[in-house]
């Protein structure tokens, strides 16, 4: 009987005799018959079949799926698509693990690895639930424009986060679960219901304070100085009713908790916001604190 021996098939296909024997026993490479001495013989088209098997196996396709393709039970395209999706999921997992390890490498806390791993394994809905739980605790489940703003700017950890994004995500979750921060947030959205991170409800021109007080901070002006008083007067000139400066300072103190600004900074890191946007957010925190100090000094 004519046909190739397993040695000849190995030479032409690039697969070892041992591998070809395994595939033949598994039914992936059918034999054309046996020689008089009892050795396996293969048809000429087995070379192309063996090469296809080698390619699929090198790509990580399982033996059962290889057999289904060769038996024409499914198309090569279908198997390739399914396998590509599986590999994509593995890549995302590996990237996440890499980011977690790099983030942990910056810390000396062994427990941080477990925390980072558990939090980053959550799916999108589970991660979103952490923010929803915080908002429910702060707003008692009632509709509120501040809550709507926080939901619109919700943190969205990417599939392949950087170490910085993983660390920011862990810090953000700890902040949202901190009972002291939750209580402080409840106080901030109590009477007045002002916007998070900027006290618009205090009848202050937000842009004027951010611009004028921000410039004063950058210039190193002392809040108790005459220059600071001039800043206050410029801001008050744009206000219909400036009101009592000490009272305004107290309102600003109540509504400019640095943790609120830190929240938005962490969201910016996680969501990949430009550095300029994050820097502007940090600058607003300094501006409002400076303005409150100036108001109190010149009240």
Report whether 251 contacts 291 (CB < 8 A).
no
Highest mean pLDDT among 58-62, 96-100, 227-231, 244-248: 227-231
Whether residue 143 is contained in a domain is answered as: no
CB count, 10 Å around CB of 111?
8
Report whether 19 contacts 51 (CB < 8 A).
no
- Tell me the per-residue pLDDT of 263-291, one tens digit each, with 9 for 90 and over: 888 888 888 888 766 666 666 778 888 98
| pTM tops 0.85, yes or no | no
159 against 134, higher pLDDT: 134
233-239 own/partner pairs: CB under 8 Å, 24+ apart: 234/208, 235/204, 235/205, 235/208, 235/209, 235/291, 238/205, 238/208, 239/203, 239/204, 239/205
Among 41, 58, 74, give the residue marking a domain's end.
74
Among 74, 98, 123, give the residue marking a domain's end.
74
Tokens at 126, concatenated: 């589970």
Out of 10-19, 113-122, 288-297, pick the least confident: 113-122
Whether residue 189 is contained in a domain is answered as: no
**Domain of 219?**
200-297
Whether residue 187 is contained in a domain is answered as: no
Q: Which residue stretches of the chain are H helix?
A: 6-13, 17-25, 46-58, 63-70, 76-104, 110-120, 124-139, 145-152, 163-176, 179-188, 206-219, 226-237, 245-255, 258-271, 275-297
- Tell me the per-residue pLDDT of 189-215, one tens digit each, with 9 for 90 and over: 754 444 444 444 445 677 788 888 888
Tokens at 119, concatenated: 């939090």
* The predicted structure's pLDDT at residue 192: 42
Whether residue 157 is contained in a domain is answered as: no
Domain count, the chain: 2
* The predicted structure's pLDDT at residue 220: 92
Report whether 173 contacts 130 (CB < 8 A).
yes
* The predicted structure's pLDDT at residue 108: 58
Among 74, 108, 124, give the residue marking a domain's end.
74
Whether residue 112 is contained in a domain is answered as: no
* The predicted structure's pLDDT at residue 4: 85
Tokens at 260, concatenated: 């609120």
């Amino acid at each position: 009987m004519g046909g190739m021996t397993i040695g000849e098939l190995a030479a032409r296909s690039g697969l070892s005799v041992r591998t070809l024997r395994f595939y033949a026993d598994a039914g992936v490479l059918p034999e054309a018959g046996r020689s008089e001495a009892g050795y396996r013989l293969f048809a000429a088209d087995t070379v192309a079949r063996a090469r296809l098997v080698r390619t699929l196996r090198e790509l990580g396709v399982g033996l059962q799926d290889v057999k289904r393709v060769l038996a024409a039970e499914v198309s090569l395209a279908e198997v390739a698509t399914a396998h590509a999706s599986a590999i994509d999921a593995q890549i995302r997992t590996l990237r996440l693990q890499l980011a977690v390890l790099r983030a942990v490498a910056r810390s000396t806390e062994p427990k941080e690895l477990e925390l980072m791993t558990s939090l980053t394994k959550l799916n999108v809905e589970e991660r979103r639930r952490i923010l929803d739980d915080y908002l429910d605790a702060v707003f008692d489940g009632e509709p509120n424009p501040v809550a709507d703003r926080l939901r619109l700017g919700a943190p969205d950890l990417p599939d392949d986060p950087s170490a910085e994004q993983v660390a920011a995500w862990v810090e953000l979750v700890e902040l949202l679960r901190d009972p002291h921060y939750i209580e402080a947030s409840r106080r901030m959205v109590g009477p007045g219901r002002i916007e998070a991170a900027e006290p618009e409800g205090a009848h202050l021109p937000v842009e004027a304070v951010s611009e004028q007080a921000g410039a004063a901070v950058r210039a190193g002006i002392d809040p108790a100085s005459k220059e600071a008083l001039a800043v206050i007067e410029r801001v008050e000139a744009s206000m219909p009713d400036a009101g009592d400066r000490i009272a305004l300072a107290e309102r600003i103190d109540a509504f400019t908790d640095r943790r609120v600004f830190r929240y938005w900074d962490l969201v910016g890191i996680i969501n990949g916001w430009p550095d300029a946007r994050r820097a502007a957010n940090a600058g607003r925190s300094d501006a409002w604190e400076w303005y409150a100090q100036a108001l109190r000094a010149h009240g």
